[in-house]
Structure formats: structure tokens, C-alpha cells
Amino acid sequence: MFAGGAYIFIALCFGLAGGLIGRMKGSSFFIWFLVSAVIPFIGLACAILYRNEHDEPMRLCPGCGTPRKVYEAKCLTCGYELEYPSEDEIFLPQHTARA
Ligand SMILES: [Zn+2]
């Protein structure tokens, strides 16, 4: 009888926790709130384990133009063999979701 209410309560708690953790890591509170609330345990674990990949240096794949991390040896999108990029090709993605 109270299972539904308990679930909503737990989902809200997890959502808040996940959202706050996501926010601390520079991501969106609402995205992680939703993820953690919809799939409580997995979502919260994801929020905790989530690394802010936007801080990692990127380069564009010469084959398809997709941003790839500089240490990737092969493009996962088009299969292009990536050599280590020259300095001009490396860039740091800007944070666009900062409030
Ligand atoms: Zn590619």
C-alpha cells in the first residue's frame, strides 16, 4: 500500500543527491536529478563515478570531424587511425552549461 509513496520518497532523495553531486562536478543538476530519480541506485552511482570529461583536451578527428580525446588511438566514429595531434589541433572544450 505504501510502496508507491516510499518509492517516490526514495527516488526524490536519490534525485537530490545525484543532482547535487552532478552539480558539484560542473554538470547539470537537473540531468543528474532526473537520472538518479528515475533509476535511483544506478543513476546515483553514475553521478558519483561521472568524470567531467569536458576538462580533457580534445582534438578533431581528421576523418570525420568528431571531437575525440587526444589519447585515443582510433576514432570510434569512423575508425580513422589517430596519431598524436600537434599543439594547434588540441583544444579544451568550453563549459557551456555553467549557471
Ligand atoms: Zn572519425
Cell numbers 526524490 correspond to: 12
The residue among 41 and 16 whose pLDDT is bigger is 16
Give φ, ψ of 11 to 5 degrees. Answer: -60, -40
Task: Dig out the grid coordinates for 76 from the structure.
Answer: 570510434
* CA–centroid distance, residue 67 to ligand 1 (Å): 8
Position 77 pLDDT exceeds 80: yes
Give φ, ψ of 42 to 5 degrees. Answer: -65, -40
Query: So what's the pLDDT on residue 64?
Result: 96
* CA–centroid distance, residue 82 to ligand 1 (Å): 9
Give φ, ψ of 94 to 5 degrees. Answer: -85, 150
CB 32 within 8 A of CB 22: yes
CB 70 within 8 A of CB 90: yes
Cα separation, 85 vs 14, in Å, equals: 41
| pLDDT 10s digits, 21-70 | 889 888 899 988 888 888 877 878 887 787 665 577 889 999 999 999 88
Where would I find the beta strands (DSSP E) of 1-99? 58-60, 67-69
Query: So what's the pLDDT on residue 96?
Result: 55
* CA–centroid distance, residue 12 to ligand 1 (Å): 40
Residue spans per domain, the chain = 3-53, 56-92
pTM of the predicted model as reported, rounded to 2 decimal places = 0.42
